Each structure stands twice: as structure tokens, then as C-alpha cells.
Structure 1
Amino acid sequence: MPTVEGMTNPPRHLRQLGIDTQYVLLGFPLGIITIVLCLTGFAVGVGTAIIWVGLPLLAGALAMSRGFAHLERLRIGPVLRRQIPHPHYRSARSKGWVGKLFSPIADGQSWLDMVHGIFRFIPSTIAFCFVFTWWFGALSGLTYPLYDWAVPHTPDNMELPELLGFADNAATRITCYLIVGAFFAVTLVPVVRGAALVEALFARGLLSGVDELRRQVVEANAARDVAQEQKAAAVSAEATALRKLERDIHDGPQQRLVRLAMDLGRAEQQFASDPELARVTVAEALAQTRETLDELRALSRGIAPPILVDRGLQAALTALAGRCTVPVDLDAPVYERLDPAVESTAYFVVAEALTNVAKHSHASEVQVSVQRIATGLLVTVSDDGVGGASLAKGHGLAGLEDRVKAAGGVLAVDSAEGEGTCLTAALPL
């Protein structure tokens, strides 16, 4: 059963047929008006420019062509099924009326508008001929049985059946015209659509094509700059992480291994003179070995936590919250597995934030929230500590900002003195 909306609204291709038809039929008289005014203004302005009188006339003609161009951009939007952006026109640098008057002469888009005003008559005429012919052929052919009686049929007139090699009688004549009308009716939509697109694409190329190309170049340059910033941030983040790892290894496991070697050497000497003391030294060395292994496991979690790889972000954050010395209120629902880079970045954001809370914030509680939003993943870590955190270089969060930026995300910190800290990271998916 067709819906009420389907019964009241015509099909899309019929609506588009009406839009294309009115665009072409109105474009033909507009093309005549535009070519007369633009060509006359251009010719008079250029012809009299030598005596300076033509410059204001030429500027006026360019301003007039800009108005016609704006009207055409509004007209071709429904045909191309998209809004045509208004291009950027060069504004007058001078604040006086003289500079504003002559500013169109120095504007490249104004000259493109003038070129369109002069030459638009060519595609408009071609499109008008096709559209008018196909509509006339379809309507006159399909309705021929209604007015055949009013058409004079004399022996001197060559009828359509005779042109096709058939006998000239009423039935044959009506059949031939119905077949011709059906042909035009069946091909009406694609022909009218093609004619309208030819005229509209010609207009778009001159009236907004250069501006769209300029915008694409600007967007490409912006994307390149963002990619370079992400690359630099990734390099900086990896360098920071490597320096931190080297410092942690030097301050922790390396010192313990040096002490372990010294203890084992002392135990080797004590076995000959005092075996009991040697056993005590070996026991201390074993304790040093266990502590070294614990530190190495902690460092390995900072590089690539196995629980994150095996069980996902929610499980890894739960383990982080359990190890934190400050009570953690974790809100991290179980989502489907995300991109490994996103999960790793979110994990390190929370890990670094909890480390800073435990070391510097003097907080009594910390809230961790991970939310899936339309644009990506939102990670929030807030505490009730002393505040004062910053993303400036030299602070602990600077390297974390580089890691987030390398993943294409944004990191923000709200940390007023005495009011706690709220760290928010938005990561794209």
C-alpha cells in the first residue's frame, strides 16, 4: 500500500525533471539578457578605458556580472543537488569610495563572472533546444489523437506515415505519432537531465570551480600540517617514553643488579670463612632478585601491558585502579575492542594521570570515566587534590599531550590551585 506521503509527493525523478526543465527554460532568456548587458558593458568599458571614462563603466559591468553570477549559483544548487558555496571576492584595500569602486577590476573571480555572463548563452541555447524539442515531441505525439481532426490533411502535405513508408490513413497516422511521442516521453528524463547538467556544470566551473579548488588546496595544506604535527608529537612522545624508561631502569633494576652482583661476590668469599653469614647474604640477594623482577614487570606494563592486549581496555583500567594508592571510582563500560593505538593511548592517559595523582595531588579520591561518543572516545580523570597541573613544557603532562596528539586526539587540563584537577582526552576512532 502506498503511503500518504508517497501519494502526495511526486517521485524523486519527476521532481528533478521539473527542476531541470524550469532551470533550462528560464536560463535561455536569462542568457540573452546577460550576454547583452555584460558584452555591452565590457565593450564600452574597454573601448573608452583610454580616456579613463571606461574604467568606472567596466567596474560597473563587473559588479553587474557578479550579481548575475550570484543568481546563477542559487539556481544551479537544486540541479546539482548541493549548495554551491559563495566564492571569496577580493575586498578593497582602500577605505575610500574610489578604491571600492575599482576593486572589481582587480578581482579574478569578477572576471570569471564576466566570462560566464558572455559565454553562458552557448550552453543555454544548446540545452534549451534539446529540452524544448523533447517536451514538444512528447506532448504533441502523445496528445495527437485529441487534435488530429483539427489538422488539415491535403494531398499536397507530406504526412509522417508517408515519410516512414506507410500508407496515409487516420489509424496509421495516429499510431505513428503515438510511437514518436512515446519515444520522446521515455527518453525525456535522461535528455533533460543531461542538458541541465551541461549548463549547470559550465556555470559551476566558472562561478565556483576556482574557489573550490583553492579551498581544497587550503584543506590539503591544513591536513598536511596536522599530519606533520602528529608525526612530530609521536616522535616526541616516543623519545620522552624512552628517556623515562632509561631513567627508571637506571634508578631501579640497574642499581639492584649492581648490588646483587656485589652481594653474590661477598657471599662467595664468605662461604670459606663463615658459611652461615654467606647463607644470609644469599638470602638477601634472592630478595633483591625478587624485587628486581617486580620492578621489571612494572616497567614492562608501562611499555605494553599484557592485560590490555589480551583482555581489553576495561580490564586493564581495572587493574590500574586496583594498584593505585588513592581510591579510584572507575566508570569504564565494556566496549567492543577498539583500535590498538586508541586503546593503548587511553590506557597510558589513565596510567600517567593516576601516577601524578598518587605522587603530587594529595587527593583523597579520583574518578576515572571512559565514554564512547559519536566522534570517538572520551577519557576523563578528575581528583579533589591541590591542583596546579599544567600542559606546559617541563611539566609531567607535556609528554602525555604529545602521545595524545600523535593519536590524532586532544588533551585538556583544568587544574586551578586548590580545586583539584580534571584531565580530559578526546581520541578519534
Structure 2
Amino acid sequence: MSTEMTTPHHPATPTTADAAPPARRSYWSLWKDVPRQFGFLILTMPIAITGLVVVSTLFFTGVGTIALVFGIFVVVAALYTARGFGVLELVRLRWAGRPPIAPPVWNRGAREDGFWRSLFAPFVDGHYWLYLLHTFIINPVVSVVTWSLTVAWVATALGGTTNWIWQRFIPQHDRDVWLHDVVLDFLFPGNAFSIDPSLGESAFEFIVGLLFLATLPLVFLGLTALHSVIARGVLGAWRSEALQLEVSRLAASRGAAVQAEDASLRRLERDIHDGPQQRLVRLQMDLASIERAIDRDPDAARHLLGEAREQARETLDELRALSRGFAPPILQDRGLAVALESLGARSVVPVELEIGLPADGAPPVLPASIERNVYFVAAELLTNAVKHADASGIRLRASLRDTCPTGWWIDLWVTDNGRGGATLEAGHGLAGLEERIRGLDGLLVVDSPVGGPTSIGAHIPFVPVTAPGATAPAAS
């Protein structure tokens, strides 16, 4: 099975990137993330201020008009808007190279079905209020700090390392002489150093610019990591949600296993009913014929006894195959066409066969499950015709149809010249047959007027098992 059992990634389930500590990276590899981190940090404060203005306007407008009822809708709009800004923050962090943060589970399923439940869901979901807090207070405050540090660090790094280019265009009386007036006087009080102010200042600012430039990747990494830590704690999913989802997943897996087991039991029940049980009915009829003929025609009775013994052997082989979950041996060994011919040959009532199926292995190759089901459907239809129709002749026709582009179908028709009157009443054999075919997305057609004749068609879609290099035949 590959549905829930494969444990698909759910938004609220912590990913490997969330759980595992990041690997240590070399200093030079940090530089490749600098452009993305700079883009994230430089846009943080404008986005945060925009979110603060929009959400606060909506929220306080809604709170102020809540007595007029429509204020409730405005507050809900504020909560959803805060959620949008929070989701944007998570997306931006991932774009900046941070490990992905699992968002909360917003769709609560049946709990939020309907308009009013969806409307009031944000009021009882703590995540909405945390997103509101993040948009209201946390992100604006933190973004002012990180944005200011980003601008200051980039300006100092670029300005210091390029000062020697543009400092000559600045009037000397407008320049601050940091090296002489601040640094040297602080480190060496009363010094009498004679250093060219222009050359010394350029060298000092270049060294400071190099220091800031060298630490730029580390600073950017730390600032984006700060935003990531805050977002993980405020905007991310809770561990309790992951545990609830795991419990739900395990419950669904257990339910799927129970359903699969039930389906297997029902399939085995149908296979026994449509296969060995029909053979046993035939065996019972042969034994009744032997009982009637044993006194008046011993030779015919011995002949019927041999056929009954062969029928019992084939029934036993079929039961053994079903107990192992396989198809009947003749179907498994020689294919559906030969298996249908075998069914017709064993019938008490003469069967005219029209088998338009490809030879075993020729395209289009039927899936094994389709072959098995068609075989059992044909077996039950022939047995019903022999047992209930009082027919003297039966025709079995099987063919394929290519209904491109919708796909391939197999058509199985069993027609007898008996008394008719067959219906799809609940509890009868045809009703179980219809259930089997409906489970294959197929269709059972019954045309049986009183007095006969009876025509029953089973139409089942399938996807061919294409062999390498095989080409499908033309539509029939």
C-alpha cells in the first residue's frame, strides 16, 4: 500500500531540516548566501511596518465597531491578514536560505466546515493570535534593530574600503579626523605623532572597512538566524500538533489495514463462491445423474463417475490455489482464453465459444486481477445458466474494446436459450456478481425477459500491462 502508510510530509510535521542541527560550514561558503540574506534583511523593516499599519488599522477598527456586529468581520479580516504576513515571513526566511519551518495546520477538517465555523475559527485558534502578536509588536521591533545593523554594517564596509577613492572629493574642513582626534588620543594620551592626516585617515578607514566586510557574512547569518528563531517559536507548528497528526496517521493506517483485510476476505468469499462452489454444484449434479443411471446404464454411470472425479480434483486444485491467494492453475498457466475454453468444455449444457482475446502474452496484456475476476464471472454465469435456466444451449463471447482515449474494456457475454426471468435481486447470485464488477468500475447488463432468452454482459475497464516493445492492436 502506498497511501497513508508511506508517511507523507505534512506541513505540521517537523522536517529533517528542522530537527537535525545544521552542518558546520566554511567561512567562504557563507558568502554565497550574503545576497539572499541582504535582500531579506533590507526588506524586513518596510514589510514589518506595512504589516503593522495594515493589521493594526483593521484590528482596532474592528474592535471599535464590534458592537455594530460587522466589526467581528473586520477583526477576522485582521487575523487573516496577520496570518498572511506571517506566512510571508516564513517564505522569505526559506528564500534567505534558512531551514524550512513547518507552518501550523490551518485546515482543521470537519471542525471548520461551514461558513460560521470558518468565520469564528480564528478566535479559538491560538496560532492566529500569535501571528497577530508577531505582526503587531515582535516583527516591527526586531526589524528596526536588524535593519539598522544591516544598513550600518554595509555602509561601513563599503564606505571604508572605498574611502581612498572618493575621499579626495570631500572638502577637508568637512571631514572628521577619527584617527588623530579619537583613536590615537584615546589610546595614547598626549602623543606627538606626526602622521599625514589624509593618508592616515584613509588607511584607518580602509582597515575598519575590511573588518566590517570580513564579518559581513557572520553578521548577516546571525541577523537572519535571529528572525528564524523568533519565527520558529511564534509562527511555527506546535509539537503537540505533530503528535496529534501522528496519532491520526496511525489511526488511519490501522483503519486502512482493517479495510484491506476485510476487502481480502470479501474477495476470497466471492472467489470461492464463483469458482469452487460452482464446481461443487456441478459435481452434485453429476452425482445425481450417476445415481439415476447406475442401475439402468452402468457404463454411462462409470463415465459420469470419471468426470465427477476429475471435477473434484480440479475443485481441490482451485481451493489450494485460492488458499495461497493465486488464480486457478489453468488461468495462471495458460491465460484467460484457454481458461474460458476449459469452462465451456466442462459445462453440462453445450457452450458455443467466441473468444476474441489475444494469445497469451500478446498485447494488450490483461492485468492478472482482471483475468481472475473475468474467469470467475464467466464461471458463475455458466453455472447459473446450467442450474436455473433450463437451457439447451449457451453462447459465451469475450472480446476487447479500445475506447481511446478512455482506455481498454473487456466485454464478456453469456447468452442462453432458457426460460429467462433473471433479475438483480438482493441476496441472489447476480447481485453478488454485480458487486464484484462494480468494485472493478465495471458494468453488469442483464437482459432476461420471461420466456427467454437471457443475455448477461459484464463490461470491465482495464489498463494493459505493456511489455517492452509491444504495440497495442487496433480497436476492435
TM-score under structure 2 normalisation? 0.53
Is 1:348 aligned to residue 382 of structure 2?
no
CA deviations on 1:224-262 (whole Å, 9 max, x unpaired) are: 65544333222323334445667356445688799999x
Which of 79, 85, 107 in structure 2 is aligned with 1:65? 79
Q: How far is the alpha carbon of 1:356 from its aligned partner? A: 5.1
Please name the residue that 1:8 is paired with. Answer: none
Change (3 A) 1:328 1:64: same
Which of 126, 131, 142 in structure 2 is aligned with 1:116? 131
Other structure's SS at 2:183 match: coil
Please name the residue that 2:313 is paired with. Answer: 293
Change (3 A) 1:22 1:400: farther
Alignment of 1:28-39 (within 5 A): 28-33=48-53, 36-37=56-57
Q: Is the 8 A contact 1:38 1:61 kept in 2?
A: yes
Other structure's SS at 1:345 match: helix
Q: How far is the alpha carbon of 1:327 from its aligned partner? A: 0.8
Please name the residue that 2:182 is paired with. Answer: 157
Change (3 A) 1:347 1:286: closer
Is 1:382 aligned to residue 402 of structure 2?
no
Alignment of 1:212-251 (within 5 A): 226-242=256-272, 247-248=277-278, 250-251=280-281
CA deviations on 1:188-241 (whole Å, 9 max, x unpaired) are: 3x44653554465566548x9999999998887766655443332223233344
Q: Is the 8 A contact 1:234 1:403 kept in 2?
A: no
Please name the residue that 2:40 is paired with. Answer: 20
Please name the residue that 2:191 is paired with. Answer: none
**Which structure: greater helix fraction?**
1
Q: Is the 8 A contact 1:237 1:400 kept in 2?
A: no
Change (3 A) 1:315 1:284: closer
Is 1:423 aligned to residue 460 of structure 2?
yes
Q: Is the 8 A contact 1:384 1:421 kept in 2?
A: yes
Q: Is the 8 A contact 1:412 1:423 kept in 2?
A: yes
The separation in 1 between residues aligned to 2:336 and 2:155, in whole angstroms, is: 72
The separation in 2 between residues aligned to 1:157 and 1:331, in whole angstroms, is: 98
Change (3 A) 1:253 1:306: same
Other structure's SS at 1:320 match: helix
Structure 2 residues not aligned, in runs of 5+: 1-31, 189-194, 344-352, 386-393, 417-421, 448-454, 465-476
The separation in 1 between residues aligned to 2:144 and 2:312, in whole angstroms, is: 86
Alignment of 1:24-173 (within 5 A): 24-33=44-53, 36-37=56-57, 40=60, 53=67, 57=71, 60-70=74-84, 72-73=86-87, 76-77=90-91, 79-80=93-94, 87=107, 108=123, 112-120=127-135, 121-126=137-142, 129-130=145-146, 132-134=148-150, 136-138=152-154, 140-147=156-163, 149=167, 152-154=176-178, 155-158=180-183, 170-171=202-203, 173=205
Which of 162, 185, 202 in structure 1 is aligned with 2:217? 185
The separation in 2 between residues aligned to 1:290 and 1:58, in whole angstroms, is: 81
Other structure's SS at 1:113 match: helix
User: How many residue pairs get matched?
Assistant: 369
Q: How far is the alpha carbon of 1:334 from its aligned partner? A: 7.5
Q: How far is the alpha carbon of 1:181 from its aligned partner? A: 1.0
Change (3 A) 1:302 1:219: closer
Other structure's SS at 1:365 match: strand
Please name the residue that 1:194 is paired with. Answer: 225
Letter in 1 for 2:461: T
CA deviations on 1:301-320 (whole Å, 9 max, x unpaired) are: 555598989x9979644643
The separation in 2 between residues aligned to 1:248 and 1:183, in whole angstroms, is: 84
CA deviations on 1:128-154 (whole Å, 9 max, x unpaired) are: 534552464245314422235366223
Please name the residue that 2:355 is paired with. Answer: 327
The separation in 2 between residues aligned to 1:30 and 1:58, in whole angstroms, is: 22
The separation in 1 between residues aligned to 2:317 and 2:73, in whole angstroms, is: 77
Which of 406, 413, 419 in structure 1 is aligned with 2:443? 413
The separation in 2 between residues aligned to 1:258 and 1:386, in whole angstroms, is: 26
Is 1:398 aligned to residue 432 of structure 2?
yes
Change (3 A) 1:283 1:415: closer
The separation in 2 between residues aligned to 1:253 and 1:133, in whole angstroms, is: 92
The separation in 2 between residues aligned to 1:162 and 1:330, in whole angstroms, is: 98
Identity %: 8
The separation in 2 between residues aligned to 1:282 and 1:363, in whole angstroms, is: 29
Letter in 2 for 1:194: A
Letter in 2 for 1:239: E
Q: Is the 8 A contact 1:328 1:368 kept in 2?
A: yes
Q: Is the 8 A contact 1:366 1:382 kept in 2?
A: yes
The separation in 1 between residues aligned to 2:163 and 2:410, in whole angstroms, is: 82
Letter in 2 for 1:156: D
CA deviations on 1:262-304 (whole Å, 9 max, x unpaired) are: x9xx9xxxxxxxxxx9999989866764554345445555555
Q: How far is the alpha carbon of 1:398 from its aligned partner? A: 3.3
CA deviations on 1:351-389 (whole Å, 9 max, x unpaired) are: 22443565679666322589xx9xxxx884214667999
Q: Is the 8 A contact 1:134 1:185 kept in 2?
A: no
Change (3 A) 1:192 1:25: same
Other structure's SS at 1:152 match: coil
Q: Is the 8 A contact 2:354 2:398 kept in 1?
A: yes
